[in-house]
Structure 1
Amino acid sequence: MPTTSPPQNTDELYQALRENDRRPYGRTRTVTAEELVDAAEQFAEPVPLIDALLELQEAYTYGSEPRKSPVVFARLLTLFDEQPDVFDERLRHQLFWRFKWVAGALRALPEIPLASLRQWLTEMRDRYEKAGLDLQPYYGQAYRLAAHLGEDTALAYELWAGRSRSRLSDCEACEICDRALYHLAAGDDERALRAWEPVLAGQESCQEEPARSASYALLPLLRTGRTDEARALHLAGYRGCRRNPSMAGEVGRHLEFCALTGNEARGLELLAENRNLFDEVDSPQDGLDFLTGVEVLLQRVEALGHGELPAAGFPGRTWTVTGLRAEVRGRAADLAARFDDRNGTSAHTDRRSARLDRAPLLDALELTLRTRSLDEVSPAAPLDASVTGSASTARTTAAVPESLTELILQARSLEGEGHPDAQACWARLRTLVAARDYAHPDDPAVGPLLRLRADLLADEANWAGDRDEFADAAALHEEAAGLYDDAGLPGHAALSRACALLATAEIPAEDADGPEAKTERKTEALTTAHTSLVRLHEETSGLTPHQEARLLRLRATALGLRLQTSGNSGTSGNGEHVAPLLAEVDLLHTFATRHDITGQIARALLLRATAHALAGDLPAALTETDGLLDRLREHGPAWHLPRVLALRGRLHLGFQDAQAAHADLSEALRLAADWPADTTDTSRLHAELAEVCMHLGRPEEALRHLTRSAELDLRRGKRIDAFCTYSNAAQLSLDLGRVEDAIALLDSLLAEPDVAAGELDDRLAAQLRLTRARALRAGDDLKAATAEFVALAAESAGWDDDPGSHAMIAAETAVLLGESGEFGQARKAADQALAAHARAPRHEHLSNVLRELARLQAQRQGPDGLAGARAFLTDAGRVADEARAAGYEAHGRSLDTALAYEHGRVNAYAGAHEEALTALEQALTLLGEPGPGPGPEQQQAGEWAECVRLAAAVEGIYLERPAPALTRLDAAVSRLTAAGHTEETEPLTALAARLRDEE
């Protein structure tokens, strides 16, 4: 709500009206407009009041409050009747234009009698005729009423569409949409789409277009097989109407589109994003269109068996899909009946029924980069079970014995082998043991219940460790060890304590000061853990061969983690941490071979290959990996194959053999599908394949792997990792020019509950928003991009630990403000960037931004903007001086050269041509004449040629000195030709020809 004091004079009133006009439509803008009307009534002049009333009617019209729009217009009409001379051509045009707004508002209100609608059209016709205005707009409203009523529209359409347009006709885009809807109602999809072409192609637009047309064109595009166009139109069109109360009907059609293309999960996501529409839409017509689209979606979700899913709905209570559908059905049916009662037809009920009766048009259409099914968003999905680590369900399709005794024995047997299918057994047992009526088998082979509870704790501890929840894992392992002791199983207890030691060593050091200290602390902790593991091994008697092999593997794992943590490359001899690790691996391999423990032999060989890789000995690592793969294919265990193939893929990438890496990683991913989901880190496989695909120049494939990796991490509860990967995917999508895909993906992420509530890492959330702002800019949505950049600049100003990021954000914000013509605000943002730059220099980036701002201001404002533009260039000069003093070298041309060239451009734009020529000649001197050859010389030649061209244009055209300009051009053409840069001579030759023609 407004917090500033009321305007004290008409100048302040008009300033407030301009500021309100920049606000989005909604309650804030509407309330402000109401207050400005109150303020305008205090002044003696009628024109300010008229302008304030016009702003208020616009706020009501586009804020979905049709009941109030006619009331405001009645005041305007009274003022016109009383003081017609006050209305100049501008105000008179606005007044007669808005007769159509009132006609639309009255149609949208079922409580307004049909006779009143017809009476208003008669009033409009009489007023237009009296004013000598063309009646095409009147016939347009008569056609719209006929279409609303469901009457035969042929005659009304011809009376409107057959007339020439006038100054008061609806905009071309709106009329195109109405003509297309006429053909659509007649069942002619192709003709409707042909009519829509200028709007959908962006050739015609207005306040509501192309978003309105896009929402209607979605289903015709699908019915005519143009699915790619429908997908693109959904992404762009939805962004143009989301959360907008005056476009609630359009949102409803996008929800319907999701429901009919197998994108029910996205539909629920979009419904949640637009939950404000349940409360803010005051138009019954818009409300009916919206609610019908919502019902189509909810009906489809319920038909697929997911009626229990939560759904965003009317405020005041929590809704499920089933409950909300019943509520929506009742309200929408009532609205349709009210319109039909008023109109004396069944049109609205019939149209609603037709939408609800439509069958899905496609089983599945991939709408966004983040495609999910209802199973994946369901609270009952396996995701939650696997994330919590309790009652892990459906990790595998392996057969689980019905007999409780067999189930327990099979779980332990599979666990001893390290077989992935053990998880299904433990999951089933966890559910059975938790039941009240559980009866433990009285069988010596099974042992006491105490042992089974210890087994389940150990399994839960292992899952906690896999999720990097090391403190929980250590505690669970210790608890299991205690139960094993009570059950008289010292070997099992020793293994659990060994696992607890290793998990404890991996707990991050929270009190360590900086990354180096954390690394040192963790290295020390792993060294201590290894010592303790060796002692535990030596002090425990009666171990079975399988238990001893596992202890040996834990010892080797501790040293492997130490090598990985320390980053020791082994450049001195075998390396401080390499030799001890290889010695432990040899112990494990020898022991496992002696006792023929196949799984531990494989693990020993994998540890050895990994040790060589960590030590930087890639050839040895590759040799070990090749040998291990041969062994696994011949002797097993087969579930290790994906992991080993992944390692070999990484090694091939280290050898810069991306093709071989792609083959190994793809094979690993294929084989991983044969085993339970958590057997292999498939998220990492997808991420690595994305990297390989980028090396192979296959970015689209990389994008698919990135999004898959992120979604898998999200399902496992690794939200930070998931959002980081999604952020990379969004940036790659933007780099590929898939702007709408990037925006849709980021909108989806930013709508996640923990992100919206500010519970995600604030810097990561800011990065997502920054990428989205850049995508909006790339998509030419300058207004939305600027708003996001301004907000981010304000937030990042408080990042005392990262002034460099604030400098970059504030600088980008300044450029966007400059592109919007708001140079006062751009100056403030640039000053913020300069202040942050003083703490964390960003020489080249800031210099580029300041020069761009100077160019924009001179180009937009001409001589009036020269002082401000020169101020930006002065700042850029100081940045260049600082860079020179710091020994900084720019990646492209020098900052001094770029600055001299920009001085030339800025002065030329502002009409200071002599100063411009002097600056350009300085830039030419700094650049130096280009030498022969491609590469950097080619770029320098292009820059030099452009500088010559601009200097010659200033000299020959604006200073009217063509002779020296031609001399300059001819000499440059000769120099470039001699150096082999013939392409760069073309613009110079063209300018020379122009100058000679003018002579």
Structure 2
Amino acid sequence: MPTAPQTTDALYEALQENDRRPYGRTRTLTAEELVDAAEQFAQPVPLIHALLELQEAYTYGSEPRKSPVVFARLISLFDEQPDVFDERLRHLLFWRFKWVAGALRALPEVPLSSLHQWLTEMRDRYVKADLGLQPYYGQAYQLAAHLGQDTDLAYELWAGRTRTPFSDCEACETCERARHHLAAGDDERALRAWEPVLAGKESCQEEPARSISYALLPLVRTGRTERARALHLAGYRGCRRNPSMSGEVGRHLEFCALTGNEARGLELLAENRSLFEEVDSPLDLLDFLTGVEVLLQRVEVLGHGELPAAGYAGRTWTVAGLRAEVRRRAEDLATRFDARNGTTAHTDRRRIRLDRAPLLDALELTLRTRGLDEVAPAAPVAAPAAPATALVPESLTELILHARALDEQGHPDEAACWKRLRTLVTARSYTHPQDPTVGPLAQLRADLLTDEANRAGQNDEYADAAALYEEAAGLYEDAGAPGHAALARAGALLAEAETPGQDDDGTEAKTSALTATHATMVSLHEQTPDLAPYQEARLLRMRATALALRLQTSRSPEHVEPVFAEINLLQAFASRHGLAPQISGARLLRATTHALSGALLAAVTEADALLDQLKTHGPAWHLPRTLGLRGRLQLGLHDAQAAHADLTEGLRLAADWPAEAVDTTRLHGDLAEACMHLDRPDEALRHLTRSAELSLRHGNRIDAFCTYSNAAQLSLDLGRVEDCIALLDSLLAEPDVASGELDDRLAAQLRLTRARALHAGEDLKAATVEFVALAAESAGWDDDPASHAMIAGETAVLLGESGEFDRAREAADQALAAHARAPRYEPLGNCLRELALLQSRRQGAEGLAAALAYLADAGRIADEARAAGYEAHGRSLDTALAYEYGRVNAHAGTYEDALAALEKALALLGEPGAEDANRAGEWAECVRLASAVEGIYLERPAPALTRLEAAISRLISLGHTEDTEPLTSLAARLRDEE
């Protein structure tokens, strides 16, 4: 707080501002300062308000030790000056007796006698004030449940009484009743009691998040796994990072541990690391730590005790180390509570939670499902596990020869051999075989460098690949292997040509580079004697590849035939020598070249022939790649069903080979596209997320995050709001995203989608905070003012929805300034019209001037769009503007202006035709609103009825009967009022 309020008005304004802040240290510290400020006025009422705000901050900021102290001051003020407490303040005071009772239960250092004494005080005060005692019995029950004694009697004394205005809200009492049944072992009865809260019919500040956390395990135990999954996503978001709901966070961690989602549990633990330090309530902390321990225990049992875990600040923790520390602290807390209470209830409850067996092997909770192996830190492994199809010889000599034999064939199992050899060769104890069939160590090192270069090229790391190939070529020459050296130099040439240049437009430069690369390769081929057939075929294939890449870059028709000429050479040579992999490679290149030249049908014909050949002669590992190509060709021909079949089969066959052999990432991505064409978005979503996670595993983080961004948007479009938010929360928690290392625009896109999802999920406060932050950041994007215009416009709308119209106007002005540099006609016009409507709805005639100003801005944008020849995707900007003028004026009570605007909108829309189903609905709604303004507010029912009857007749004649119902209903109302 920059300066203390100098007047009571300023104090009340500061209190209101603080009330909008989230609970936590900032709000609490400000509340403390405001109490100090209130005391200077020597007036009881401002001080009472400040103390109430402070107690609320302590209660929901998980500081139970301080809440009773503040309340004691309030009680003293009430006893001294009861008349200054109006009805509202008196209600708040008596309501908060329950808060103090909860705070005292949460502190094991408070004697049990003091808890009973406070309940007696509460009862006496309620009786004296002639208030019903149901709230008192509610607190008596909660104490009994806390102690684990006489709960059934206490429950009956509370639950059987009639509620009073001072009873806990319906949602909170529902939770207590359900927890009582849960403690008795009756899951079904508990869930029946919880249903109104879980269904969203009852809620409060902490509900339904609290109830959800308790209901998760009963839902799974009773087979309602999908409901549990959905509620976990929604409920966790309602309590994460919230110190006063740390126990709820702990139960979500426990849920993850018992449903095969240990990796997600560790992710959520990291997100809530601050709770280890921020929770000042011993009871909440015990609840939280027990949930943490359940998770860590499960991870350790699964053999991952050395995984890193987020724990207490100031130290790096492993799962095992943190589990030991958490167990020590939680046991101490449970012992302290039991000592205070004279029971073993808290130790027993801990034991029950820790002894629970997993309920499910795996429940897919989020769109990004990972196992513990996938979150383990990278570490060198003595002998990487080989794919099931790979047989890696034990003998070193046999291993080297086997790897080279597989390399000659291009067999995917070579990868396992090279990995094994790399581990052996880099060991300090390595001794190279003295066997002439193996060759010198330099040749083996060159083999390993070539394999590394191949993998770098597959990951588009062309500069690294070129350097590795060059180093390998030198070693091959030293080893007296000129054929291998030539292949390595050809690989370096291709990689160098693929390396991005510094040109703004590198098309011409890259085309020239590839032309030169091909010429150099031809020369290299001619100058290298005694090439083995498989080596010569590879050189021919790289020559053809260079020209194919040139065609892909230039898209010039004159570059098509040279590619086919090289492919013909390759295919003839490979056929003459019986090199099945290179015959297949030639045909793949031929099909791809047909596709690049626009001859998709010819490409499909070639792919068909190749598939027949592969099924008969092999190599079988080329089948997934060829099916993937044919699937993409079918997409190009708009045959999504055929594409889906090919891609699905390709993905099935890919499982037979090592991951490095087949681009399953792309197969999943292409399948997602096919599914979207087939209107199977849920299936598309699965393939998108799988493709993204595979990219992430292979180190292609930008590609992965781009694909995940598309998946998040699709899940939002499907209405799977919580899935979208959970996915983005997981991505935004990735270390390189959180630290700002990821591309800032891509990170901003992830945050923007999340903000839109929060808005769609009706979390207006969180959405507005994120939008405001993004608007501030995007203001500095000088190279992309269009994005800033869009973000600032959406931010303005959210601020308008929150009633912050001054800030909304500022954001709208920012959007307009950015729009002047990079027009966003339709999105910004939509935002301005929405702002006008929001202000007129909220403020009526008082907000009309501001609303009309927004519409004037929208009008200027419509004029600009018209001048630029821009066509809106929906109804025209002019029509939309006229319609909004009608609605804004109607809300402001200027009905003649409203009617004139709506009639203009109707004229611009024009009467719909038989095929105009969408426009018929818009037109009917405009007729309805114009008739309501005229018939009801301007009290001219006759012309309004004439308008309605004509519209109804028109719609029926065109077959749009579904649009007539609201018009018929309004007509009946107007006839009744005549």
- Aligned AA for 1:920? L
Name the residue aligned to 1:309: 307
Shift of 1:344: 0.5
SS of equivalent residue, structure 1 residue 314: coil
Shift of 1:986: 2.7
Name the residue aligned to 1:363: 361
Residue 704 of structure 2 is aligned to residue 722 of structure 1: yes
Shift of 1:391: 8.1
Point out the more displaced range, 681-690 or 947-956. 947-956
Distance 1:512 1:43 in 2: 70
Distance 1:989 1:966 in 2: 10
Distance 2:290 2:273 in 1: 15
Shift of 1:326: 0.5
Point out the more displaced range, 459-468 or 393-402. 393-402
Distance 1:193 1:542 in 2: 79
Shift of 1:99: 0.9
Distance 1:979 1:658 in 2: 34
| 2:775 maps to which of 793, 802, 817 | 793
Name the residue aligned to 1:833: 815
Name the residue aligned to 2:580: 598
Name the residue aligned to 2:436: 444
Distance 1:616 1:923 in 2: 46
> 1:459-485 CA deviation, whole Å, 9 max, x = no partner?
111111111111111111111111111
| 1:522 maps to which of 486, 505, 510 | 510
Distance 2:643 2:444 in 1: 43
Distance 2:259 2:724 in 1: 21
Residue 100 of structure 2 is aligned to residue 102 of structure 1: yes
Name the residue aligned to 1:536: 524
Residue 436 of structure 2 is aligned to residue 454 of structure 1: no
Shift of 1:38: 1.3
Residue 500 of structure 2 is aligned to residue 508 of structure 1: yes
- Aligned AA for 1:473? A
Q: Residues 1-150 of structure 1: matches in 2 within 5 Å?
A: 2=1, 4-150=2-148
- Aligned AA for 1:31? L
Shift of 1:550: 1.3
- Specify every segment of 5 or more residues in structure 1 that has no aligned partner in the other structure, as ranges: 569-574
> 1:524-557 CA deviation, whole Å, 9 max, x = no partner?
2222211111111112222222211111111111
Distance 1:702 1:445 in 2: 51
- Quick one: structure 1 residues 697 and 971, their matched pair in 2 at CA, closer, same or farther if it must change by over 3 Å? closer
- Aligned AA for 1:799? W
Count of residues in correspondence between the two structures = 978
Distance 1:898 1:593 in 2: 67
SS of equivalent residue, structure 1 residue 759: coil
> 1:589-648 CA deviation, whole Å, 9 max, x = no partner?
111122222211111111111111111111211111111111111111111111111111
| 1:475 maps to which of 461, 467, 470 | 467
Contact residue 395 and residue 423 of structure 1 kept, 8 A: no
Shift of 1:397: 4.7
Point out the more displaced range, 803-812 or 959-968. 959-968
Shift of 1:84: 1.4
- Aligned AA for 1:889? E
> 1:934-992 CA deviation, whole Å, 9 max, x = no partner?
2xx33333323222222221122112222222233233333444444433333222212
Point out the more displaced range, 863-872 or 165-174. 863-872
- Aligned AA for 1:796? S
Name the residue aligned to 1:950: 929
- Quick one: structure 1 residues 8 and 415, their matched pair in 2 at CA, closer, same or farther if it must change by over 3 Å? same
Name the residue aligned to 2:589: 607
Contact residue 847 and residue 876 of structure 1 kept, 8 A: yes
- Quick one: structure 1 residues 671 and 468, their matched pair in 2 at CA, closer, same or farther if it must change by over 3 Å? same
- Quick one: structure 1 residues 427 and 477, their matched pair in 2 at CA, closer, same or farther if it must change by over 3 Å? same
Shift of 1:828: 1.2
| 2:639 maps to which of 630, 642, 657 | 657
Shift of 1:894: 2.2
| 1:372 maps to which of 359, 370, 373 | 370
Q: Residues 613-624 of structure 1: matches in 2 within 5 Å?
A: 613-624=595-606
SS of equivalent residue, structure 2 residue 558: coil
Residue 948 of structure 2 is aligned to residue 982 of structure 1: no
SS of equivalent residue, structure 1 residue 240: helix
Distance 2:507 2:5 in 1: 62
SS of equivalent residue, structure 1 residue 443: coil
Contact residue 609 and residue 620 of structure 1 kept, 8 A: yes
Residue 937 of structure 2 is aligned to residue 939 of structure 1: no
- Aligned AA for 1:696? L
Name the residue aligned to 2:793: 811
Name the residue aligned to 1:571: none
Q: TM-score, normalization: structure 2?
A: 0.98
| 1:194 maps to which of 156, 170, 192 | 192
Shift of 1:417: 1.0
Point out the more displaced range, 87-96 or 346-355. 87-96
- Specify every segment of 5 or more residues in structure 2 that has no aligned partner in the other structure, as ranges: none
Contact residue 279 and residue 285 of structure 2 kept, 8 A: yes
Point out the more displaced range, 481-490 or 665-674. 481-490
Distance 2:383 2:908 in 1: 72
Contact residue 395 and residue 678 of structure 1 kept, 8 A: no
| 2:399 maps to which of 382, 404, 407 | 407
Q: TM-score, normalization: structure 1?
A: 0.96
- Aligned AA for 1:605? R
Distance 2:902 2:878 in 1: 12
Q: Residues 680-759 of structure 1: matches in 2 within 5 Å?
A: 680-759=662-741
Distance 1:95 1:6 in 2: 26
Distance 2:480 2:493 in 1: 21
Point out the more displaced range, 81-90 or 59-68. 81-90
Distance 1:213 1:745 in 2: 23
> 1:824-877 CA deviation, whole Å, 9 max, x = no partner?
111111111111111111112222211111111111111221111111111111
Distance 1:980 1:456 in 2: 73
- Quick one: structure 1 residues 628 and 50, their matched pair in 2 at CA, closer, same or farther if it must change by over 3 Å? same
Distance 2:388 2:738 in 1: 34
- Quick one: structure 1 residues 114 and 712, their matched pair in 2 at CA, closer, same or farther if it must change by over 3 Å? same
SS of equivalent residue, structure 1 residue 138: helix
Contact residue 76 and residue 95 of structure 1 kept, 8 A: yes
Name the residue aligned to 1:487: 479
SS of equivalent residue, structure 1 residue 577: helix
Point out the more displaced range, 483-492 or 970-979. 970-979
SS of equivalent residue, structure 1 residue 109: coil
Name the residue aligned to 1:294: 292
> 1:393-414 CA deviation, whole Å, 9 max, x = no partner?
5455511111111111101111
Residue 199 of structure 2 is aligned to residue 218 of structure 1: no
Distance 1:648 1:978 in 2: 49
Contact residue 37 and residue 56 of structure 1 kept, 8 A: yes
Contact residue 23 and residue 57 of structure 2 kept, 8 A: yes
- Quick one: structure 1 residues 245 and 394, their matched pair in 2 at CA, closer, same or farther if it must change by over 3 Å? farther
Name the residue aligned to 1:350: 348
Distance 1:256 1:991 in 2: 55
Name the residue aligned to 1:915: 897
Residue 751 of structure 2 is aligned to residue 769 of structure 1: yes
Contact residue 514 and residue 547 of structure 2 kept, 8 A: yes
Contact residue 310 and residue 321 of structure 1 kept, 8 A: yes
Distance 1:522 1:704 in 2: 37
| 1:565 maps to which of 543, 548, 553 | 553
- Aligned AA for 1:111? E
Distance 2:507 2:376 in 1: 40
Distance 1:739 1:89 in 2: 41
Contact residue 415 and residue 660 of structure 2 kept, 8 A: no
- Aligned AA for 2:245? M
Q: Residues 570-589 of structure 1: matches in 2 within 5 Å?
A: 575-589=557-571
Name the residue aligned to 1:572: none
SS of equivalent residue, structure 1 residue 678: helix
Contact residue 779 and residue 788 of structure 2 kept, 8 A: yes
Backbone CA RMSD of aligned residues: 1.5
Name the residue aligned to 1:169: 167
